[in-house]
Structure 1
């Protein structure tokens, strides 16, 4: 039997050098670069037509140098839009070289190929080359999620039953939509003819181009003010500085190999049993100032299902963001410039043909939730040596594309049901949060009901389900959305089958769920992934987010915190007593009673009187 091919993502070390620019000027240029991309982000969000960009801020903006290295990124953006941008540009340049094409001043390229750097098909990049006195000096790039690109069903999420990449919608491989400032009118007409909500989507695309052009102009102004050599030298020093900072943090960790296994829900009703259990295996090797994340052993790529994850654009970003969050947490560490220097100390390895590194033309459009499992499992693997910097298991998200017809025209809306973080050292898990590498905002109920035939009937915290711990797991949400007219929904989510893991004696969190509440009141349970589900007026979709795992022994929790949670309605009195061993005296703590009950519960062992969700399977660590 032949060995499987393994792909490795790694970048060369920065070259040791002495900067010709003084540190103060370097920091001033760093501030100017961030101001540029902040302006780009603000302009894009203000000009956008769709709520996913305007309200949820599911976009990215960055400036890259002539080598395609990211020198700055917009902090308003989501990591899953920002992180892949250098990969987009590398993919574009690779394709252009194969075609014998070159960049010209005034060009704009559109790109969304998941096998050439893009995160997934709906995340479209528009790349504007930056020319200075006739020389290509960089790229201004915006990315954004688009709500329809002509796939087999309306919407650009929840497409899980895709035969291959071509079934996911329009594929753009380094397409010049402007050439020397002249629009390619045929391409723009093709877009309008093949997108269901074309005015909205094309309007978002035009906003991306306009914003990216602003970034290009501002970068040229910066070069004019300080000189090209000074700016480029400062950018080089900033990338080297970021690399040094991360390497120093890696060297503080003990060398060794650390492993964990997480699970994607999969498809329990599928005839193929291998699709029901989809493990994500992570092995972290620390050697000096280099850290390697190896996903060998992760489930094989899933045929005709779109939950496969591009290695470049999804898996690598899940790894980078998780490691930055653990090792360079801004709560405890000074601000570090976010640029391509931060990826140099990290290697990512995955078998070709696995779910974490699929081979073309595998479908990848629903890669989001599996990528979150990669991030969560990486955090789990590092928990033995970074226990003071990780959370317990994280509750994953659910994303629904709602759609329907108004006459002959489609409306499409993407709704995100937040997850929750696990507890962490000296802090309860964060409630109702778009977790890990997503970081988008929720959409205001008023905006939804003003633009779509939907009504949000219920939106509240899912109380009394966070994992018990010295620091409890965060609470997800319960969200009910009613159709006011016939329509359709596609769902991609995770966390219905596996409970978020508890850390250091904390209990597992609780899995999530999805209910279809028919207009007659009957309730049907749905899986975490499905597409093309039709609904009539009065039907309701109810999503229940997973709740985070607990951190530390629940019986060590401050009784006053338990009472506070009880008074806020976060816990029931039964949970306070049976899981935390807290006895009440009116609205306060009965000290002697609490001490006696806790002694009794400790003697009985941790499995005594666990709630039903606490024994649900979770990831394993070793």
Structure 2
């Protein structure tokens, strides 16, 4: 930790609050200027502020961890890249970066970074930090339309355009060649380039606000306040780690991979969490080797580190208990992550990474499972993982592209059932409104409901998945990246396992085809339908300890059948009430 005793705590708190407010404002500005629904409605974007070295100072609270969390890594990679080139940063510069082997989460998540400068009383110019945004773009020029569902890319070069610390504005002058290259090489160029321009504008707003904050306090005092903020967050995390029991806690889960290919399916993710005083080692040794020619590998910086940090932070510093916790790089200092080079969690270039979304979410769940052994009262049972489907088509000579995140569910946790039909862990995007889909795209949402009578049984049951049926009004194309078709979410402390996902293509003639969790781009016809059943989370605790009144409530709400209540919970329902004598007999016997 740094020496920060000369700055008063009130100033530190005010500067911290100001930085957090700026980051939130940048996020809202981006949302409101964005062209695409994935940013505007689903909030698949990030906004953050860093210091001059790339240390994270604050991030947008309403954006998702997988977008805001990597921004410090983008900045550090940009600084290193510019240094290798012998290039320097100047006022008016805007840097574009999406290198998954240079801090980026994956290629479609493009960052725009604006350096912030301060001129002191002596007229000297100082680099203060960066204001940055990231966002998922709906096409990045990959081998098939859309920037998700690309599940057969053979290497990083098949995944689309790569931008490594490119100045799209140089001292305020726009690089027209880069802009033209983008327009010529991405599908749905108006939307994609429009979203990028929204990012530039939002990042500039953050830079202006940050510069004004530095001018108000002075460069030296601002730096001291930032150092104190980081140290305070570090102390919070160290205290939380120190309260853990000593020892190592190992967990293993599996991803589907490619279920039609034995060499690329049922791949292990392993996490061993070791508490050493007030530090934590998260060792991913044992995780399956990288898949050289399929894009389910996870960048170590930008995906793996964010998955680990998010999980540790949410378990050990739950805001429901600790109140507001400042999210900055100080929280990560006591945590060391190890992953063998060449495994899924630390691939070697040019292994493809564009479909790292669901494996990374499963990695976060694996770390949760390991921590469950240390702090069983602070975790949820296994999550129902997610699925991303790209829809695309041609209208005259232009593309339309849409990305839909099909939600999963959380596992049960102490005192509460798992959340139903939500994006989980580091994803955390919002469900896309049906009205937005149908008003902009040749798609119709024919069914959207909770998946009934299928969830991990427990004293606190797992969250329910959703069922969505989407019909195509025109001939189109689609591709899918997902997980959780083969492996059920884990139950905990006697809770039952959750329920796997499934996906069905129902053709216009009524015939049906069961699809795996990963589907390369394929044509569909007008009148065809996708029927997506989302997974359900695992149960927490012995189901026979669940309050019969809660079981009855689920039955009356149509979420659970009376037969399942009897079989899984030992609760007998008679009409609209609990048959207490029959329930006592069932639970006394311990079996139906």
Q: How does the TM-score come out when normalised to structure 1?
A: 0.93
> Does the residue aligned with 1:355 lie in a helix, a strand or coil?
coil
* Correspondence for 1:235 among 226, 237, 241: 226
Which of 296, 300, 304 is matched with 2:289 structurally? 300
SS in 1 for 2:376: coil
Taking the aligned partners of 1:59 and 1:475, their CA distance within structure 2 comes to 26
Return the offset for 1:105: 0.9
Aligned to 2:130: 139
Return the match for 2:500 from 484, 506, 511: 511
Deviation per CA, 1:127-181, whole angstroms, max 9, x where unpaired? 1111111221111111100000110000000101001011000000111111010
RMSD: 0.9
What is the Cα deviation at residue 268 of structure 1? 2.0
- 1:65-214 matches, within 5 Å, as 65-133=51-119, 134-214=125-205
Gaps of 5+ in 1: 1-13, 610-622
Tell me, yes or no, if structure 1 residue 40 matches structure 2 residue 40. Answer: no
Other-structure match for 2:536: 547
How far the C-alpha of 1:335 sits from its partner, in A, is 1.2
Match of 1:31 in 2: 17
Q: Which residue of 2 aligns with 1:375?
A: 364
User: Structure 2: how far apart are the matches of 1:212 and 1:267?
Assistant: 39
Within a 5 Å distance, the mapping from 1:218-617 to structure 2 comes to 218-270=209-261, 273-600=262-589, 602=590, 604=591
Aligned equivalents of 1:452, 1:593: Cα separation in 2: 53
SS in 2 for 1:277: strand
1:21 aligns to what? 7
Q: Distance in 2 between matches of 1:346 and 1:26?
A: 24
8 A Cα contact 2:4 2:227, kept in partner: no
CA deviations on 1:399-422 (whole Å, 9 max, x unpaired) are 101000001100000001110001
| Contact 1:19/1:234 (<8 A) preserved | no
Q: Cα deviation per residue 1:482-516 (whole Å; 9 max; x = unaligned)?
A: 11000011101100000001100011011111101
Report Cα offsets for 1:264-301 as digits up to 9, x if no partner: 1011212xx33122100111111000101111111111
Runs of 4 or more consecutive aligned structure 1 residues displaced over 3 Å after TM superposition = none
CA deviation profile, 1:44-98 (whole Å, cap 9, x unmatched): 1110000011111111111111111111111011000011111101111111111
Distance in 2, matches of 1:195 and 1:586, equals 59
Task: Give the superposition deviation at 1:20.
Answer: 2.1
Distance of 2:377 and 2:278 partners within structure 1: 20
Offset at residue 586 of structure 1 (A): 2.5
Contact 1:505-1:553 within 8 A present in 2 as well? yes
Distance 1:457 1:525 in 2: 19
Corresponding residue number in structure 1 for 2:122: none
328-337 or 490-499: bigger deviation: 328-337
Q: Corresponding residue for 2:206? A: 215
Counterparts of 2:486 and 2:206 in 1: how far apart (Å)?
44
* Preserved contact between residue 97 and residue 166 of structure 2 (Cα < 8 Å): yes
1:331 counterpart SS class: helix
Spell out, residue by residue over 1:443-477, the C-alpha distance to the aligned partner (whole angstroms, 9 max, x if none).
11011001000001111111111111111010011
Greater shift, 234-243 or 20-29, is seen at: 20-29
Corresponding residue SS for 1:510: coil
